[in-house]
Structure 1
Amino acid sequence: MVFDEKIVYTIASAAIYIGTAIPVNQVFARYDTKVADPFYWLRAPFGAYYGTLLEFGLLPIITAGFLWQILAGFKLVKVNFTLSRDRELFQSLQKFTAILLSFVYASLLVFSGHFNTIDAGLNKEFPETVSIWTNLLLISQLAGFSIVSTLMVEILDKGYGFGPGILAFIAASSATNFATGFLGLTTVLNNKGNWESNGAFVNFVRGFFSKNLVANIYNAFTRENLTNLTQIYVALFTVGVLTYLSNFRSEIPIKSLKVRSMVSVYPIKLFYCGALPIIFSYAILYNLNIVAFSLTKILPEVDFLKYIAVYKLDTLNGHYDLDSGLLYFLSPSTKSSNVLFGLIRPFTFLGFLILSSLLFAKNWLKVSGSTGKDLAKQFKEQEITLVGHRDTNVAKELNKILPVASTTGAFALSSVIGLVETSGLSKGFALGTSVGVLSSLAVLESLMTVWQQSGGASSQFAQVFNPNQ
């Protein structure tokens, strides 16, 4: 059964992706060492896990996809998407670019000392000298599993599962992160030499059975080395706001050209572009930070780089924080040695998210082939039209609604995410949860469409979607 096979392929691919988040060889040599992460606030929307084979997650694939779609949309490369050969070459170029980017990312981080470990007890970085063979081993691991991720995304995009594959993996990664952050039962050794639970709620409950009750309960809401309850509440609040906003839509009356009495509505959602605008904004930030961090470590003697970014190691919590430089103003970092910088940063960060998201949403309709003209063509192929309008005016009417929906949705999404993240209470957790929920809704929409159009009623999973059968 095609429908059942797609479900199996989707679940299996997502499980394999999450399962490859295992430590990179030569990094976690002892249980009491870990990597100081400069990208902890950027990882969630890309299914990336520091110090693991999914160090970059889906970033290379997403970056390559955006890059080639923009080049094609602005006619900088000529692609005729009506020809299967052109489509295949275009998709191959995206995959090749993703693989190339994964090698570039891996090389930059390995030779910048990103994988040097810090001691959980001594709270210091080990600037040990690593052999060239160890570096090559690290690069081959990271790039190799990035290739595997690219191929798994390709499997879902080719119709073997419910896609887009990128959104399916983001949804799976987000769900895993939320479950682990809330109810994770595993324990880790903190910098004070004590064991604490990964799950914020589990750690909160354990605090009631400890000797220092007040301190442990306070820690459950404020700890920075792991997910805390404040992050959980902020994430749930953000998801609630976005879920409420996602119910806003414009319903356009349509009718069938075959059956005159058949009248329905075509909904255009507020989040017409889904989570893509905010993913685009954070993809820019992630790429900029990878390059900036690598250069500041490889070329520490170049004074000019301090105007780009200055990263300071937070030994207590085991990660790097942006302290100054241009990228500091494009981050939610609340730590800076300059008070004035700290006052300006919330506005510059929020402004960047809104402007980049709006720019993306404004041009994505043309880039992705989702303009009123394209939708009107689909209507014509399905022999439906807008009520009260001639066929020649359908594209014109749709072009009055689609750009407004895409830009308004992008503004609402980026504003909510930006306000939450700039508060410093989320540290990327609310962002990842929100992007995961929006991505899962897109995958669910794809699933339900296939179920309705391909005879899903005969599926073994039919009872899940229609229990009355």
Structure 2
Amino acid sequence: MGWKEAAEPYLTRMPTVSRPEGHVPFKRKLAWTGFILVVYFFLTNVSIWGLGAGASDLYGQFRSLLAGGQGSLLQLGIGPIVTASIVLQLLGGANLLGLDTNDPRDQAIYQGLQKFLVLVMICLTGLPLVFLGGFLPADTALAASLGVGTLGVKWLIFAQIFIGGVLILYMDEVVSKWGVGSGIGLFIIAGVSQSLVGGLLYWGGGTGEMGVFPYWINVLLGNISGVTLSSVVFNSTVGLLPIFTTLLIYAIVVYAESVRVEIPLSHARVKGARGRFPVKLIYASVLPMILVRALQANIQFVGRILKSWLGTGMPTWLGQYTTDMQVTGGLFYYLAPIHSPSDWMWWTSGASGAEPWQILLRVSADLTFMVIGGAIFAIFWVETADMGPESTAKQIQNSGMQIPGFRQNVGVIEKVMERYIPQVTVIGGALVGLLAVLANMMGTIGGVSGTGLLLTISITYKLYEEIAEEQLMEMHPMMRQMFN
């Protein structure tokens, strides 16, 4: 008996959100999407009951990307879902699962396996947060009043984190089946947009806490003393450089989304019916970058857990940390991504205290990791999302379309697709990885990560396209039947 036969009775019984039996009207899709978005913001503002003072964010700069809320029910955000996707993509890429996602039986097993892995990742991530290192300390006064001890309160904290992880899993499924786009994309847009709006409008108490508009208004009015050319240009959140970088990244992503190779198509039976199959430069979308950055976040997660566990016994070659758990040396330092200009501009005030050669080595490692990782995960994404040459050829064949000048045969169409899709996938994945690192190095408005900014712009652009497509289908129901 294979693993599929043994696991099928359990995996196929995992709770799931039922698919709509027929067409879901566009207004209802928008309603479901808006409802889940409101629930998401509500849960990120529900604090964990029993949490004591001194809690620290283990994810740090990855927080906006993982779409969660520090100290809230959504403490883990989409981290477990993304980590489970990484494991599944690696197993699927190595053909270790033996599942055919076109087979309804294997598809049900795959979806159940994905949910099971998410639950496992919630435990593997949440348990160290609560029970190791004091990242989420228990309220000792509450423990004494309840008479359950500190350990009992910690289990209550973990239970809340676990429930939040399960909720975001099924919220993502509701959006994917009943709403517009995907839940993961929606949550990333919500988190990053919140940071961007705060980075533009927040009127804080100091120059480092102000948004862009309040900062520049105060600079022009002369309310801020000690303003220098360096502070005006290189300030990591409100300076000219992050403003220029944010606008530049926006323009590049929108332009890259419009760059495409269009393969002409014609209908085999309806004379004069023609179309085009677009192979975009960012063919795999920007979503594989979530997997790459999540892998980096998990590496840093392991480093901080080891430091909290070993303390002073941790080898210096492996990692050196400050009292607030910021890595300053060792292997985990070189594997840490660049988050802001101060991480590598050693000639400016407030920059990293590392030697220039160490900083350059870290920048090189981050670039290599993101460019190569972006290309590899883009390939995995295309294959698992049925966007590869073989799957695309079958879709074109099933729709009744063909490539003019070629025989109406799946194998022939697949060979034509192989001229474009693999090359464009690798180039697009590497390009997105490069842009993510450069955006982090230059800084962005609100201090959002370069990857988060890329994802927000790209996902918003795709949501716009999907909404336009949905509206077109509503006006012309025959097109919905044609394109299934």
Fold-level similarity (TM above 0.5): yes
Alpha-carbon deviation of 1:237? 2.1
- The question of whether the paired residues in 1 share the 8 Å contact of 2:245 and 2:442 is answered with no
User: Secondary structure, in 3 states, of the residue corresponding to 1:266?
Assistant: strand
Partner of 1:109 in structure 2?
Answer: 129
Q: Does 1:228 align with 2:238?
A: yes
**Structure 2 residue aligned with 1:447, among 453, 467, 471?**
467
> 1:325-344, aligned counterparts within 5 Å?
325-330=330-335, 331-332=337-338, 333-334=343-344, 335-344=352-361
**Structure 2 residue aligned with 1:136, among 155, 163, 166?**
155
User: Secondary structure, in 3 states, of the residue corresponding to 1:259?
Assistant: coil
Partner of 1:199 in structure 2?
Answer: 211
Give deviations 1:226-249, integer Å, cap 9, x for gaps: x43454442222222222222211
Alpha-carbon deviation of 1:151? 1.0
Distance (whole Å) between structure 2 residues aligned to residue 39 and residue 311 of structure 1: 15
Moved more, 419-428 or 64-73: 419-428
With over 3 angstroms needed to count, the CA separation of the structure-2 counterparts of 1:320 and 1:100, relative to structure 1, is same
Q: One-letter code of the match for 2:122?
A: S
Partner of 2:48 in structure 1?
Answer: 24
Q: One-letter code of the match for 2:426?
A: T
Q: One-letter code of the match for 1:353?
A: M
With over 3 angstroms needed to count, the CA separation of the structure-2 counterparts of 1:307 and 1:443, relative to structure 1, is farther
Partner of 2:112 in structure 1?
Answer: 92
- The question of whether the paired residues in 1 share the 8 Å contact of 2:403 and 2:413 is answered with yes
Give deviations 1:363-405, integer Å, cap 9, x for gaps: 4333332211111111111100112111231110001100111
With over 3 angstroms needed to count, the CA separation of the structure-2 counterparts of 1:105 and 1:253, relative to structure 1, is same
With over 3 angstroms needed to count, the CA separation of the structure-2 counterparts of 1:345 and 1:197, relative to structure 1, is closer
Give deviations 1:252-306, integer Å, cap 9, x for gaps: 11111122222222211100011123212101101111121111111224434x4
Partner of 2:318 in structure 1?
Answer: 308
> 1:202-213, aligned counterparts within 5 Å?
202-206=214-218, 212-213=224-225
Give deviations 1:1-27, integer Å, cap 9, x for gaps: 721111011111122212322243455
Partner of 1:350 in structure 2?
Answer: 367
Alpha-carbon deviation of 1:85? 3.3
Q: One-letter code of the match for 1:167?
A: G
Whose strand fraction is larger, Structure 1's or Structure 2's? 1
With over 3 angstroms needed to count, the CA separation of the structure-2 counterparts of 1:424 and 1:184, relative to structure 1, is closer
Partner of 1:124 in structure 2?
Answer: none
- The question of whether the paired residues in 2 share the 8 Å contact of 1:255 and 1:263 is answered with yes
What's the TM-score once normalised by structure 1's chain length? Answer: 0.82
What's the TM-score once normalised by structure 2's chain length? Answer: 0.79
Partner of 1:72 in structure 2?
Answer: 92
User: Secondary structure, in 3 states, of the residue corresponding to 1:20?
Assistant: helix
Distance (whole Å) between structure 1 residues aligned to residue 471 and residue 220 of structure 2: 48
- The question of whether the paired residues in 2 share the 8 Å contact of 1:106 and 1:143 is answered with yes
Q: One-letter code of the match for 1:408?
A: I
Alpha-carbon deviation of 1:407? 0.8
- The question of whether the paired residues in 2 share the 8 Å contact of 1:182 and 1:232 is answered with no
Give deviations 1:403-434, integer Å, cap 9, x for gaps: 11111111111112112324567854333122
User: Secondary structure, in 3 states, of the residue corresponding to 1:445?
Assistant: helix
Partner of 1:237 in structure 2?
Answer: 248
With over 3 angstroms needed to count, the CA separation of the structure-2 counterparts of 1:103 and 1:366, relative to structure 1, is same
Partner of 2:308 in structure 1?
Answer: 297
Distance (whole Å) between structure 2 residues aligned to residue 38 and residue 198 of structure 1: 25
- The question of whether the paired residues in 2 share the 8 Å contact of 1:329 and 1:344 is answered with yes
Distance (whole Å) between structure 2 residues aligned to residue 301 and residue 448 of structure 1: 57
Partner of 1:404 in structure 2?
Answer: 423
Partner of 1:147 in structure 2?
Answer: 166
- The question of whether the paired residues in 2 share the 8 Å contact of 1:277 and 1:360 is answered with yes
**Structure 2 residue aligned with 1:429, among 424, 439, 449?**
449
Q: One-letter code of the match for 1:407?
A: V
Q: One-letter code of the match for 1:104?
A: L
- The question of whether the paired residues in 2 share the 8 Å contact of 1:40 and 1:428 is answered with no
- The question of whether the paired residues in 2 share the 8 Å contact of 1:204 and 1:216 is answered with no
Partner of 2:384 in structure 1?
Answer: 367
Partner of 1:381 in structure 2?
Answer: 398
With over 3 angstroms needed to count, the CA separation of the structure-2 counterparts of 1:27 and 1:199, relative to structure 1, is farther
Aligned alpha-carbon RMSD (Å): 3.0
**Structure 2 residue aligned with 1:258, among 250, 269, 289?**
269
**Structure 2 residue aligned with 1:286, among 282, 286, 297?**
297
Give the % identical residues.
21
